[in-house]
Amino acid sequence: MTTAANSSISTKLDKIVLTNAGKRFNREWIYRHCHIELSVGSAYAITGPNGSGKSTLLQAIAGSMQLSEGAIVWNDQQGSNIDDEQIYKELAIAAPYLELIEEMTAKEFLEFHEQFKPLIATVTIDEILSIIGLEKAVDKQIRYFSSGMKQRVKLAQAIFSDVPLLLLDEPCTNLDASGYALYHSLIKNYCMQKLIVVSSNDEQEFNFCDQVVKIMDYKK
């Protein structure tokens, strides 16, 4: 589904190709012989048990963790490589281990985030706060938010960033049923032209994905 919000996405990234990719810590291989091609406009899930290496693979896709073997290439729309030190400009991520600036209000945090990564032009920050159900908490510092409210802010800063690559690690952590519904609505209305990669073992978080990558397939 394409919406007006989707059409604002400024994209340079076209696809990501992992070839014989592997990562190990000391002598333990987390994954190995991983061959994956990811294309903008499609959604992919990385699944597997807790501690199996899903987040480690996601961080390699983000360019924030080097591979121990093999290669990862980020291609732009002309087929040229994007430098691994520049790929951060093409992506946004929401993950439980990423912290918010809790002394800020949600509005201040999104304004601060926008200085480094532009938000999509079709909605204002006030509209974003209303969409995620936090319009009544606009003046409250994030440190007073519930865990579910904080997760909504994490999703907002990632999903509304004007980038082609969206990385989601356990995106519905601390969300209730209404939070899950919001998550799926945000994906449907604002992300369908992006390349989405979801790291999760909760099918409700990735049931919209086109392809499932099972991390356990790359353990040998």
CATH of the domain at 21: 3.40.50.300
Identify the pLDDT of residue 133. 97
Instruction: Report the run of H or E that residue 187 belongs to, with start and end.
Output: helix 177-190
Domain membership of residue 11 (yes or no) is: yes
Quote the tokens at residue 190: 């604002």
Domain membership of residue 52 (yes or no) is: yes
Residue 87: half-sphere exposure toward Cβ, Cα within 13 Å: 25
Identify the pLDDT of residue 2. 37
Quote the tokens at residue 45: 């899930």
Q: Note down the domain range covering 207.
A: 6-218
Domain membership of residue 1 (yes or no) is: no
Identify the pLDDT of residue 8. 53
Identify the pLDDT of residue 9. 53
Identify the pLDDT of residue 4. 42
- Distance (Å, rounded) from C-alpha 198 to C-alpha 178? 19
Domain membership of residue 200 (yes or no) is: yes
Domain membership of residue 140 (yes or no) is: yes
Helix axes 147-159, 106-116, angle to 10 degrees: 30
Strand order in the sheet with 211-214: 91-94, 165-169, 195-199, 43-47, 211-214
Domain membership of residue 61 (yes or no) is: yes
Give the chain's residues under pLDDT 70: 1-11
pTM above the 0.85 mark?
Answer: yes
> 65-101, pLDDT tens digit by residue?
999 999 999 999 888 899 888 999 999 999 999 999 9
Identify the pLDDT of residue 145. 98
Q: Quote the number of domains for the chain.
A: 1
What stretches of the chain adopt beta strand conformation (E)? 13-25, 28-39, 43-47, 69-76, 91-94, 165-169, 195-199, 211-214
Q: Residue 21's beta-bridge partner residues?
A: 34
Identify the pLDDT of residue 102. 96
Domain membership of residue 15 (yes or no) is: yes
> 107-119, pLDDT tens digit by residue?
999 999 999 999 9
Identify the pLDDT of residue 78. 85
Identify the pLDDT of residue 11. 56
Domain membership of residue 92 (yes or no) is: yes
